[in-house]
Amino acid sequence: MDKLDRRRFLGNSALAAAALSLPAAAYAAPGRSSVVSTTKGRVRGTVEDGLHVFRGLRYGQDTRPHRFQAPRAPEPWSGIADATAFAPSCPQRSDRYASTSEDCLFLNVWTPGPDPRAKRPVMVYIHGGAYSSGSVVDPLNYGHHLASRGDVVVVTLNHRLNAFGYLYLSRLDPRFPDSGNAGQLDQILALQWIRANIANFGGDPGRVMVFGQSGGGAKIATMMGMPAAKGLFHSAATMSGQQVTASGPLNATARTRAFLADLGVPERDLGRLLAMPTEALVEGLDATDPVLGGGVYFGPVLDMKWLTRHPFWPDANPQSNHIPMILGNTLDETRAFVDPDGPKVAGLDWSNIAERMAPELRIDIHPEWVVAQFRERYPAYTPEQVFYAATTAGRSWRGQVIEADERARAGAPTWVYRVDYQSPVEPRRGAPHTIDIPLVFGTLDAEGSITGTGPDARALSGKMMDSFVALARDGNPNHGGIPEWPVHTLPDRETMLFGTEVRVANDPRRWERELFGRVPYIQPGT
């Protein structure tokens, strides 16, 4: 491969070699190479502990020359392109990832073997971080344990985020008709790449499962209602990540105006955005959100081109009701968002809990009444316990309740879980948002995991991994290692509780569900 072709494939190779501020050995182990043909050219990965691993596979062109536009498939290359190191992540307001670039449309593959005859299930992971941050260049998301245990092909992908992926310019300038959903279109392009190429990596393009945590789950819920994604995946799982409503075009335009004002770019001269340095656009993410306050929100937009209705309102989009789906949340979601040792919890008592809790509920409900109801229902609870129970039920669980109920009404095959497993590493966190990532990937010992590596964690991780693999393989998460997991129906609302004991309960937290069900729910940010 000549130097130009190689640069076109990997983008900035120096950045790709430093995808995380971790030692290179953490993600690019030397060993035998593995060469696979794709529709655009051949790629070389490595063989590690019996798995064929390809890092930094390009599925889309550099987005910098085509800012705020739909992604473009790669150009063909000659020779063999190197795919042995993670490529850059999307630019964002975080210093966690040492390598970021607008040239970020890359994916990674872990496969037991690149034999087209194998036809293994394919599990495609979409990362969280809302729509503004995050990356799969993270040890928690490595696919080696899942691929080995389940005999599956695991794919993880990066895509455009924040303003690069979701800045809605269409109403201000017709040159950018795809801008509000460009990040979603990146994911769809990646799934098209998978459909065209995954057989050569040992995968079955007719058995593709998408799964994602938090923002990754929300992206999947959104894609389930996007006509452009129809037929690209055959099962789905969302982990603490739902998207009931999308951003309306008026709110999205107001946010765009706030972003432009922060950058000093007039609406009549949006072409200036195309010439600005990447770093300047990242600085603009500090703009104040005109709807919610705080940092400006970016997410999928009801643009009436790529997204023509809300994902789960007024019902579950019929486009995807045939797709088998797992929906999950954790028992103590907001213990990840609100630090138990931080200022909102320090000194918490009955005199100040309502005031502190109100903004964390993210819905318009009488906070003093909520506190009184919880104290009457759970008289032994401390103020801290009420704070986290109420904010989890009111803020982080509502979307899942709505999605599960709407799919049940439609007769769509859906299995619901709740993670009850309590962190032995950070006991005050309980079972917080993100704890299911290492459990499902088997990355219990990875940096950032709070599951511990004891026998309880290992046993639970095996059960959850096997359920996700079973969904990918057979369209049903049941397997011999867990009790029978029934489909979620109304009014029973059957739910698998994943803890040190794994069991099924009907309508757990019914009281909390009914309490907050009195108030209309609008997806925060939309």
433-479: per-residue pLDDT in tens?
999 999 999 999 999 999 999 999 999 999 999 999 999 999 999 99
Residues 348 and 464 in one domain: yes
**Does residue 259 form part of some domain?**
no
Report the C-alpha gap between 71 and 92 in whole angstroms: 19
Last residue in a domain, options 224, 239, 254: 239
Q: Could you list the residue range(s) of the whole structural domain that residue 19 is in?
A: 3-239
Phi-psi region of 242 (alpha: psi -120 to 50; beta: other; left: phi over 0): beta
Residues 214 and 360 in one domain: no
Residues 6 or more apart whose Cβ sits within 8 Å of residue 211: 123, 124, 125, 126, 217, 220, 236, 237, 238, 239, 326, 440, 468
- Please state the φ and ψ torsions of residue 243, each to the nearest 5 degrees: -140, 100
**Does residue 231 form part of some domain?**
yes
Residues 222 and 339 in one domain: no
Q: Is pLDDT at 17 greater than 70 in this prediction?
A: no
**Does residue 294 form part of some domain?**
no
Residues 218 and 81 in one domain: yes
The predicted model gives 144-158 an average pLDDT of 98
Residues 367 and 504 in one domain: yes
Residues 218 and 337 in one domain: no
Determine the pLDDT at residue 98: 83
**Does residue 26 form part of some domain?**
yes
Is there a contact between 152 and 473 (Cβ–Cβ < 8 Å)? yes
Residues 353 and 502 in one domain: yes
**Residues 325-383 pLDDT 10s:** 999 999 999 999 999 999 999 999 999 999 999 999 988 999 999 999 999 999 999 99
Q: Is pLDDT at 26 greater than 70 in this prediction?
A: no
Cite the DSSP H helix spans in 34-131: none
Q: Is pLDDT at 260 greater than 60 in this prediction?
A: yes
Determine the pLDDT at residue 2: 38
**Residues 373-418 pLDDT 10s:** 999 999 999 999 999 999 999 988 999 999 999 999 999 999 999 9
Last residue in a domain, options 208, 224, 239: 239
Catalytic residue among 133, 433, 449, 494: 433
* Strand 235-239 with 42-48, pairing: unpaired
**Does residue 289 form part of some domain?**
no
Confidence of residue 12 (pLDDT cuts 50, 70, 90): very low
Residues 333 and 232 in one domain: no
Is there a contact between 416 and 439 (Cβ–Cβ < 8 Å)? no
Determine the pLDDT at residue 97: 87
Determine the pLDDT at residue 145: 98
Q: Count of domains in the chain?
A: 2
CA dihedral 239→240→245→247, nearest 10 degrees, is: -100
Determine the pLDDT at residue 353: 98
- CB burial readout 338-373, b (16+ within 10 A) else e: bebeeebbeebeeeebbebbbebbbeebebeebbeb
515: nearest Cα among 423, 377, 345, 316: 377
* Strand 203-213 with 494-498, pairing: unpaired
Locate 110 and state its tokens: 């872990």
Residues 372 and 227 in one domain: no
Residue 233, SS3 per DSSP:
coil
- Please state the φ and ψ torsions of residue 455, each to the nearest 5 degrees: -60, -35
Determine the pLDDT at residue 294: 87
Handedness of CA 196, 202, 208, 214 (dihedral sign): negative
Does the annotation mark 214 as catalytic? Answer: yes
Determine the pLDDT at residue 31: 61
Q: Is pLDDT at 25 greater than 80 in this prediction?
A: no
Residues 76 and 185 in one domain: yes
**Residues 285-305 pLDDT 10s:** 999 999 888 899 999 999 999
Handedness of CA 301, 305, 308, 312 (dihedral sign): negative
Is there a contact between 261 and 287 (Cβ–Cβ < 8 Å)? yes
Determine the pLDDT at residue 322: 97
The predicted model gives 132-159 an average pLDDT of 97
Report the C-alpha gap between 164 and 68 in whole angstroms: 6
pTM check: above 0.85: yes
Q: Is pLDDT at 9 greater than 70 in this prediction?
A: no
Residues 66 and 208 in one domain: yes
**Does residue 524 form part of some domain?**
no
How much of the chain, in percent, has pLDDT values that exceed 90?
A: 90
Structural Rg of the chain based on CA atoms = 22
Catalytic residue among 214, 240, 247, 467: 214
The predicted model gives 178-203 an average pLDDT of 98
**Does residue 286 form part of some domain?**
no
**Residues 438-449 pLDDT 10s:** 999 999 999 999
Residues 46 and 190 in one domain: yes
Is there a contact between 417 and 440 (Cβ–Cβ < 8 Å)? no
**Does residue 440 form part of some domain?**
yes
Catalytic residue among 101, 240, 333, 461: 333
H or E element at residue 54: strand 51-58
How much of the chain, in percent, has pLDDT values that exceed 70?
A: 94
Report the C-alpha gap between 127 and 167 in whole angstroms: 19
3-state secondary structure 346-368: CCCCCCCHHHHHHHHHCCCCCHH
Last residue in a domain, options 174, 205, 239: 239
Average pLDDT of the chain is 93
The CATH number covering residue 213 comes to 3.40.50.1820
Q: Name the one residue in this structure whose structure tokens are 């099924």.
A: 504
The predicted model gives 132-150 an average pLDDT of 97
The set of long-range contacts for 403-406, using a CB threshold of 8 Å and a minimum separation of 24, is: 403/221, 403/238, 403/242, 403/244, 403/312, 403/316, 403/327, 404/327, 404/488, 404/493, 405/490, 405/493, 406/312, 406/315, 406/316
Does the annotation mark 145 as catalytic? Answer: no
Q: Is pLDDT at 11 greater than 80 in this prediction?
A: no
Q: Is pLDDT at 488 greater than 70 in this prediction?
A: yes
**Residues 498-507 pLDDT 10s:** 999 999 999 9
